[in-house]
């Protein structure tokens, strides 16, 4: 029998890792990827819409993104949204399409991005440890309410710790992979 507190903890830990992955996909690696523009919202007739809902975002080559708006009147709004997103990107428009050259990263900027990835990783680890704490408190409450014996609580806490260790190891692997990707010239 698996305790519901353990299932809940595993689910929350998985969500923390997924949130961490989503966060670091937005970090530039010097290669063009459409994920760089995921967080950008464009003022489309008074409504803030995600960029991918006002045009087609694609990768032209390793260092260039392309946006083809469905409505040509929104080209300036897209350019403005990209510039105000503060991603260090300078869109170039020909009136109907927008091209975004991805500049190569210098060594200093690469180091800053690695620090940022590590910070996000540490935040994800803290979130996982908080889930562990909550799960252990829930197990102690179950023991206090006589729903769980002391031995079963102890076994469940060990299982929660094992889950925590596995998830933290996965975060470390993701950090290591992203760091290698960023440092690649």
Is it the case that residue 176 has pLDDT exceeding 60? Answer: yes
**What does the pLDDT average to over 108-132?**
92
**What does the pLDDT average to over 19-38?**
81
Distance from C-alpha of 77 to C-alpha of 83, rounded to nearest angstrom: 10
* Domain CATH code at residue 66: 3.30.1360.40
Residues paired with residue 50 on neighbouring β-strands, in sequence order: 41
pLDDT in tens, 136-147: 999 999 989 988
| 170, two tokens | 């996965």
pLDDT in tens, 34-51: 888 888 899 888 888 898
Q: Over the chain, what is the mean pLDDT?
A: 89
Domain residues for 93? 34-101
Distance from C-alpha of 184 to C-alpha of 24, rounded to nearest angstrom: 16
| Residues 42 and 85 occupy one common structural domain | yes
* Counted domains in the chain: 2
């Amino acid at each position: 029998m698996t305790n519901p507190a353990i299932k809940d903890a595993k689910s929350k830990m998985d969500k923390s890792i997924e949130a961490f992955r989503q966060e670091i996909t937005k970090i530039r690696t010097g290669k063009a990827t459409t994920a760089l523009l995921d967080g950008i919202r464009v003022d489309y007739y008074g409504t803030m819409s995600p960029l991918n809902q006002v045009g087609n975002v694609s990768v032209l080559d390793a260092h260039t993104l392309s946006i083809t708006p469905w409505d040509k009147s929104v080209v300036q709004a897209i350019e403005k949204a990209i510039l105000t997103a503060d991603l260090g990107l300078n869109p170039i428009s020909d009136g109907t399409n927008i091209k975004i050259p991805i500049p190569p990263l210098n060594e200093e900027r690469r180091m800053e991005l690695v620090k940022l990835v590590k910070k996000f990783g540490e935040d994800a680890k803290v979130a996982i440890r908080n889930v562990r704490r909550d799960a252990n408190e829930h197990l102690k409450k179950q023991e206090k309410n006589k729903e769980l014996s002391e031995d079963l609580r102890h076994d469940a806490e060990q299982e929660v710790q094992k889950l925590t260790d596995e998830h933290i190891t996965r975060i470390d692997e993701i950090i290591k992979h992203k760091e290698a990707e960023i440092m690649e010239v």
